[in-house]
Amino acid sequence: MKAAIQIGDSQEQVGLNDNETQAEMSRIAQNAIKVMPKLAQLRLVRAWGSLRVMSPDGLPIYQQSTSMPGAFIVTCHSGITLAAIHSATLSHWLTGQKNVPDLSQFSEKRFYG
């Protein structure tokens, strides 16, 4: 039986550089092993880095696109952790329900008035 586990933890301020350093990958692995010691017996198959889309104030942006009908903007830190909340909000938008939660305080308009 094949299985996989994904571990992520980095919050490095690196601009647009999505390369992970060996030191950072080692730190993440050691922290994961502290929580799940059996991970120390496994072989690392792949490591990768990605960029986190963050707003200037660190709060999420939730809104329908004003220029592309049917497109939605959903950005925040901890996207995987908060996926259930995102899907609950998006399901209202995508199905055209009238009882859409008021998320206007999370609009990108807060950055330019």
Residue type, 1: M
For residue 51, the model assigns a pLDDT of 76
Both structure tokens of 50: 């990605």
Per the structure, the complete domain to which residue 36 belongs is given by 1-51
Asked whether residue 21 is assigned to any structural domain, the reply reads: yes
Both structure tokens of 33: 């092993």
Q: For residues 73 and 106, state if they share a domain.
A: yes
Asked if the model's pLDDT at residue 79 lies above 80, the reply is no
| pTM for the whole structure | 0.59
Asked whether residue 56 is assigned to any structural domain, the reply reads: no
* Four-residue CA torsion sign, 43, 45, 51, 53: negative
Both structure tokens of 69: 């009908």
Average pLDDT of every residue of the chain? 82
Q: For residues 7 and 44, state if they share a domain.
A: yes
Asked whether residue 70 is assigned to any structural domain, the reply reads: yes
Q: For residues 70 and 47, state if they share a domain.
A: no
Domains held by the chain: number: 2
